Amino acid sequence: MVTNVTSLTRSGLADFVVQRVTAVIMGLYTLCVVGFFYVTSDVDYTALRGYFGSFGMQTFTTLTVLSAAAHAWIGLWTVGTDYLRPHYVGRHAAAIRLTYQAGVLALLFFFVVWSLQLFWTL
Amino acid sequence: MKTERPVYLSLTQFAWPFTAIASITHRVTGVLLVLGVGFLLWLAAMALESSAGFAAAAATLAQPWAKPVLLATLAALFYHLFAGIKHIFMDFHIGDSFAAAKASSVVVFVLTFIATAAAGAWLW
């Protein structure tokens, strides 16, 4: 079996499952947050902080942030391996793709640390 | 095997059935959401910092560029979410014929339009 060292799980089937499980988690989180803004007639600082600062939401936010990072990694990995190929970007495609993947990883890591710090200090 | 085989991929000359447009839109909105989520995080960080920060976030949203950017982010989110739900149905072979896929692609665009319009009405 051919595996790719830069895919999230090194298995297309496992990536496929991770992509769907993380999608469901993020979908439910979106529903909750949209619901909060829908039922809260006047969203002010106290209401916003009370909502995101509750232990339940901090936990759900953490689960969603980690899901988003895994989901985005698989998605952007797919995009990179589709387009950053010799046919499109020339013979340095492998180097360009690895640089792109490193950039994506750095950005996602930054988002994870930033959001965990943000929501757990409420 | 010859590695440099000729490849001809002219996107402008491809046939673009509606399902293909739906598919590439799913991908494009996914990439845009990386930036969009960054924008949402930035707004959330500001609004959750203090009541002064909340006021600063509200003032930012009052700038002419901000609500269109927020609405575009929400539109991408809605599309990506609805297209994703469609995808999971198809994983279970529900509606995976070409006719059903065409119909559900239209439904995804219509639902995105309705949800985005509702969000726009709420924002303004």
In chain B, what are the domains? Answer: 17-123 (1.20.1300.10)
Alpha helix (H) residue ranges in chain B: 18-47, 51-62, 66-91, 98-123
- Residue A55, in any domain of the structure: yes
Chain A nearest C-alpha distance from B103 (Å):
22
Model pTM?
0.92
- Please write the tens of the pLDDT for every residue from A22-33: 999 999 999 999
Per-residue buried b or exposed e for B54-85, using 16+ beta carbons within 10 Å of the residue's own CB: beebeeeeeeeebeeebbbbbbbbbbbbbbbb
Instruction: Give B-chain residues touching A107 at CB under 8 angstroms.
Output: 34
What is the phi/psi pair of residue A83, to 5°? -110, -30
CA dist., res. B120 & res. B75, Å (int): 10
Interchain contact, A24 vs B88, CB within 8 Å: yes
Does residue B92 belong to the interface with chain A, where contact is any CB pair within 8 Å?
no
CA dist., res. B77 & res. A112, Å (int): 19
CATH number of the domain within which A106 lies: 1.20.1300.10
Helix (H/G/I), strand (E/B), else coil: A91: coil
Interchain contact, B54 vs A30, CB within 8 Å: no
Residue B111's alpha-carbon distances to A69, B43, B64, B68, in angstroms, are 26, 26, 26, 19
- Please write the tens of the pLDDT for every residue from A17-76: 999 999 999 999 999 999 999 999 889 999 999 999 999 999 999 999 999 999 999 999
A vs B: CB pairs below 8 A: 52
- Residue A1, in any domain of the structure: no
Instruction: Give B-chain residues touching A52 at CB under 8 angstroms.
Output: 44, 48
Helix (H/G/I), strand (E/B), else coil: B8: coil
Nearest CA in chain B to A74: B30
Among B48, B49, B80, B86, the residue to mutate for chain A (most A Cβ within 10 A): B48
User: What domain count does chain A have?
Assistant: 1
Interchain contact, B41 vs A72, CB within 8 Å: no
- Residue A2, in any domain of the structure: no
Amino acid identity, residue B109? F
Residue recorded with tokens 């709420």: B122
- Residue A20, in any domain of the structure: yes
- What is the DSSP secondary structure assignment for residue B11, as one 8-state letter? G
CB-based contact A18:A74 (threshold 8 Å): yes
Which residue range is the domain that position A67 belongs to? 12-120
Q: Greatest CA separation found in chain B?
A: 65
Amino acid identity, residue B50? S
- Please write the tens of the pLDDT for every residue from B66-118: 999 999 999 999 999 999 999 999 999 999 999 999 999 999 999 999 999 99
In this prediction the ipTM stands at: 0.92
